[in-house]
Structure 1
Amino acid sequence: MRHRLTAAVVVTAAALGGLVAPGVAHAWVPEECQGGISASRTGEVKVTGAWRVPDIVVHIRDRETGQRLASVDTFPRTDWYGATSEEPDYMFDMYSEPLKLAKLGVYAIDVQVDGGEVVQCGDFDFDYRLRSEFTGGKGTATDPVSLESLKTTFSADVTVFDPRTGATAPLKNTKVAVTGRSSSTQATTDANGHLSVPYTYTGVEPSAHVYLAVAATAEMDAEQIHVAPTVVKQKAAIVLDANSRHLTVPYGQPIKITGRAVRATSDGTIKPVPLGTPLQPGSATVGADGRFERTLQGYGSVVDTTWMYENQYPWLQYVKAATQVDIQYPTSFSGFTARLDSLNRVTVNGTLNHTPVQTDLGAKVDIQYSTDGRTGWTTRRTFDWKFDRAFQAIAPGAADGYWRLSYAATPDGVAAVSTPIRLTRTETAFSAFNVNPEPAKRGKPLTITGTLTHKSPTWKTYGGQTVYLYFRPAGSSASTYMGQATTAADGTFRRVLAADRTGTWSAQYRDSDTKHLNATSRLDEVIVNP
């Protein structure tokens, strides 16, 4: 027999106000009510979840009349939660002797702790009604069931316990609801409290459990059990259509999986599974011919088609059919900018976006160049980065052309390219550079001459520009600035310096208007004799 520990009914403070006896303070689940106060099966007052042994008085009150029916201050039985009475810091339950009240009903509870104010335990009821009980807490099914034999009979014996007398008797001539997943009916107990009711399954219930329930009355509580017959599962197979075994689908888009589900009868005959057999994930069911079509939104890289509740499905042995799903995750570039500097370097900035956001997922980004922005794209640099994180990278440049960012398709995302950006700078070059005489004599003059040109749009002389002169002594790797010259209108320049030692001379032009590329002349080695 089971023990009822509580039958709580939530009642608002306003509703209780007119029923509280004089001198009883209003409170909503106060501390004095401990972890809960209720009636046990036999009518004991049970104080749940106490932390110490309180000086407690529990009053049972009739809600309609406000009359106090009983007061309890002695609790001879204690249940400790894994501890002993020597460990008072542990919670425990306390029980009074069974109450013997004159009238059955559901009553209010008031509490007084340590001589304090009497408070109302508004969330808790003292359920002092007859206890309807299924013998052994269970029922039985007379026959096993399968897809070839869906009928059985449920039986149970129902009794009623009276807490006033402690007597148990058959619950006779009482209606019992019989509720399954696909149908429900009603049975009536006989003079001995016995019931027997035939029940037919449909063969597509996700569970074979059927509930037997006695409804509550003013003088008797409710009771419910579940019962299930032995189910003989049949062998089965789920066969996917060829185009449902491997799918490629954009991220966030639904997928459709089709196929056929069949079963083997006891004599080996292959038949479709029953119409309406539930599949998962999703809410698809099978047609009369065993065919099914499932549309899913939200899935992983592998989708298994199987019965609802998988191996817990009662009618068919557990099988599954796997669909491999290659998800195409969208990618795109945002915030793309590009700049060409005087050293003929391209600096790009941007973000490679991924849906959904994946800031810890790596990716390779290509910086690409084309002369016309349509064809002939070549990769100038590839670098590793993370999706959804801003980047900056530098690649070798070109005087004129189009630049873009590119991401090649991988299992992590579909391919993406940015909108091209055109970058231009004017090329410059030294068409002539010479140092004379060769060889030279130490201390004597050296004459440095040359011509600076730029491509605007054809090659022309470039006048009015500063040219920087450098010398690298023989055996050294470092060049030293030696002076500068200004180009004439025809782009020529001339500078006289004293010869000092053997080494290599060169000239450099540095962009002066943010529109040109730098240039370096050829190297001219001059031997200097003593």
Structure 2
Amino acid sequence: MSTKRFITALGVTLGITASTFLAAPAAQAAGGGLDDVYYMTSSVGSDGAFRVEFQTSEGWQIGDALAVRVREKGTSAVVARVGGFVGGGCTDEDCGYRTFESAPAKLDKMAVYDLELVRNEGQSNEEVGASRGVLNYALNPKIDGFKSSLPSLSYDSRSGQASGRVVGEDPKTREVKPLVGAGVEVNTYSGETAKLTTDGAGQFASPFAFRGNETEASLQASLVGSESVKSKLSPPIRKQATKLNVSAPGPTVTARFGSKIAVHSTVTRTADDGTQKNLDDLLGLSVTKDGCVVAYREDCGNGVTDFRVTGDAKMTVGFSSAWFAPASSSFAVHATHMSAFEGLVGSVDKYRNITYTGKLIVKDGTVPAGTSARVHFDFSGDNGKTWTYVGSTTTTYNTPFTLKNPYSSAKPGLWRLRHGTANVGPTTSQTFQFIRRPTQITADDVTPEGVARGTTITAKGLLTHRYSTTWKPFAGQTVRIYFKPATPGGAWKQLGTAKTLANGTFSRKFTADQDGTWQMRYDDAPATHYASKGREDYVDVR
């Protein structure tokens, strides 16, 4: 329920109360019934006048037939009526609710009153709202002196009494007085609520009790009908000392990857009288892998009774609570049946083909001979910050392998192998960066074209290699020149070679003999460079 504050024609709002009207299931007459009123608020202005505002989902026009009866609290005695409602404007974009506001009115004395919505009062078709609202007729109502009988709390001292007083300014005299008969709710942090009424001195008192497993201890008193009038207490908690005893497992655990390990532990506390007592409610107990901040993620430990072995680790059984001093105990885990890449070597040839040789082994355990394992290929273009899966292949545990990467090394970046199954622990290889200089053949051509048989033609081009972002001439290299005749079944055949000059250019003369396609290829790249091919150039021989 929302608290409503607004500026009235009579002055600035100083006190606010609110009460919710719930929609009744019964059908209403055409035009909407009073049970369609969702909530009603009242505000007291600085001149002592109050207004009533309500909100409804119906769009009916209310006219003079609607009024709010003001009754002495808990009685049928009507002390005033408020009418003259105006408004009907939309309060949201969809116009699902409309707001109406009464004319101002004043009362003779400061007190708590019941509000009752009525239409066609005194007539045969009189209709009364299903619920009542509350008017705290006072200026600046507040909860004064809210306190706890316990200055501090402990697990052995969790129950006490909360008390306070509700006061407000008399709208007529401006004298600060107790607000008698006011509804007050006292709530604990754990959600328990006590509903009270102030006595003749405006005072209220309520017992409270905490369970001892709350994450904090707080008490709040609220004036019924006004979300803005409240007071909060947070008594300090005297934490009791605790001892944690882990009976299983022992200080060191050796277990197969993926297995579940049971954890048995008890916690004792030092009571306020100095005796040692068992703590049965172990809310706050966790089993966590050191270095993890998310205790219940599977690879960090999953709960208070067991955890799954995901590798070698130091595990900590910890107990923490707002009511007790923390306690912990650690043990070491050695995981068997973990995989590893042994003797792994990665290489790339001049045609950008990546090959890995090595062996995928199982450490501290065995698997049946011939058991297969899937190995994944990952690529990173941002120096290992993120990795992208690009393919996978199958090998056999404990057997030397030669694995072909499904993608070439065309893009610069890092590569790695990765393995992991439900039965054998995962592993990730070291990273590889395959660095060779790219080369390219450009300006390649065979001229002239459309020549007579026996004419001399020239195959030429330019070979460059890349330095950073710049392409530079690649001198002293051998370029192979290939020809494929245009006859059925014609195959590529090397006809000769040419050496690149200082400026990277090359050329070689041939005699045109038949129609066919020519291509220059840089196949003789050293270990520092990639090979490359020129374009295919068709020459018509007449």
TM-score (norm 1): 0.37
Instruction: Look at both structures and tell me which one has the larger radius of gyration over its CA atoms.
Output: 1
TM-score (norm 2): 0.37
